[in-house]
Structure 1
Amino acid sequence: MSDSLKGKRIAILATDGFEQVELTQPMEALRAAGADVELISPTLDSIQGMHHDQPGEKFSVDYAIDQVDSGRYDGLVLPGGVANPDSLRTDPRCIEFIRDFFEQHKPVAAICHGPWTLIEADVVRGRKVTSWPSLRTDLLNAGAEWLDQECVVDDGLITSRKPDDLPVFCGKLIEEFIGGHPVGQTA
């Protein structure tokens, strides 16, 4: 176990329908690096993970979105799954929470369908990103440059395509969170 992220507090924002491995692997990697990781959701209810289209485990939420302030965190992780970001992007509190990380120039990592929330937060314009392929047009229409790569890092914004990319994604998000590389100004 490393202490490279000791003293760092990382938020994972998710709700029902998240792709379970896209939450658990980054959470485990961050904790192994010494970070304090907290699961944030719209409510304090437990949330349902998914293994693609099959139900996975339920996870206890540490804090409801109304109980936290982005200022207490050093970074943010946004797992995918189809239902999770689709629900989060319709919640103004969640979108404001995400946008705050960009305004505070803190690193943000999003995988698979997670970048849907970044579109709603209007923080991808002029940025290089990747995602699950079906989000390509949405990201392009939002002003991003979409790349078909396992992981794209653009000034503190770490994006990845799918569960198969998790080893690289987890390594890059830890690198960015260690370095405290800030997320650049949005256009």
Structure 2
Amino acid sequence: MRIAFLTAPEGVEQVELTEPWKAAEQAGHEPVLVSTQSGEVQGFNHLDKADTFPVQEVVGDTSADSFDGLVLPGGVANPDFLRTDDKAVAFVRDFFEQGRPVAAICHAPWTLIEADVVRGRVLTSWPSLRTDLRNAGAEWVDEQVKVCDHGSNKLVTSRKPDDLKAFCETFLEVFAAERAS
């Protein structure tokens, strides 16, 4: 299974990129780092710069057709940058329109709000997004991981780095089940 990991060039919460990436690799899948521009993306450990990661595909040069699923890592800056990039927002929306599974953690649902794909869905996130999600038509819950199958695809969301183990296990199960169906 080929899984897109969409990040902005700067500001991705490193552990929210690396742990799901490793989980996907260990499950035999092909994670692909997609960004809004070529080069590298800068990881952060909260507010401190961490490692950089090479971009494999640019969002404007690829499409959801090329992937079996999408993972949106968080961090505060990452989804804030992504939601201002029309091509990134269209890329995310395309996964929903094609019925492909999506997983988002922490602040990543900001990008989902911009893509207008949360209306009628039940999801979780970092608590500060609760009002934004409700205003966008979603129901917010305070759970470690939440799977919502409203519409033609499944959405897996999680709150924070402490939830990564459950998030990784769940999105891998959901993605595999969606591919098998």
Q: Give the AA of the match of 1:159.
A: T
- Aligned match of 1:157 in 150, 155, 173? 155
Determine helix, strand or coil for the equivalent of 1:39: strand
Corresponding residue number in structure 1 for 2:82: 88
**CA distance in 1: counterparts of 2:139 and 2:48, whole angstroms:** 32
Q: Percent identity?
A: 56
1:54 and 2:48 aligned:
yes
Corresponding residue number in structure 1 for 2:176: 178
Q: Which runs of 4+ in 1 moved over 3 A?
A: none
Corresponding residue number in structure 2 for 1:138: 132
- Measured after TM superposition, the shift of residue 138 of structure 1 is 0.1
Q: TM-score, normalised by structure 1?
A: 0.92
- Measured after TM superposition, the shift of residue 181 of structure 1 is 6.7
Q: Give the AA of the match of 1:64.
A: V
Corresponding residue number in structure 1 for 2:5: 12
Q: Give the AA of the match of 2:146.
A: V
- Measured after TM superposition, the shift of residue 12 of structure 1 is 0.3
- Measured after TM superposition, the shift of residue 69 of structure 1 is 1.3
Q: Number of paired residues?
A: 175
Q: Give the AA of the match of 1:77.
A: V
Q: Give the AA of the match of 1:121.
A: A
- Measured after TM superposition, the shift of residue 45 of structure 1 is 1.8
Contact 2:73 2:104 in 1 (8 A): yes
Determine helix, strand or coil for the equivalent of 1:17: strand
Structure 2 residue runs of 5 or longer lacking an equivalent are none
Q: How does 1:22-171 map to 2 (within 5 A)?
A: 22-155=16-149, 156-171=154-169
Query: What do residues 95-152 of structure 1 show as CA deviations (whole Å, max 9, x unaligned)?
Result: 0000000000000000000000000000000100000000000000000000000100
Query: What do residues 130-176 of structure 1 show as CA deviations (whole Å, max 9, x unaligned)?
Result: 00000000000000000000100001100000000000000000001
CA separation of 1:35 and 1:18: change in aligned 2, threshold 3 A = same
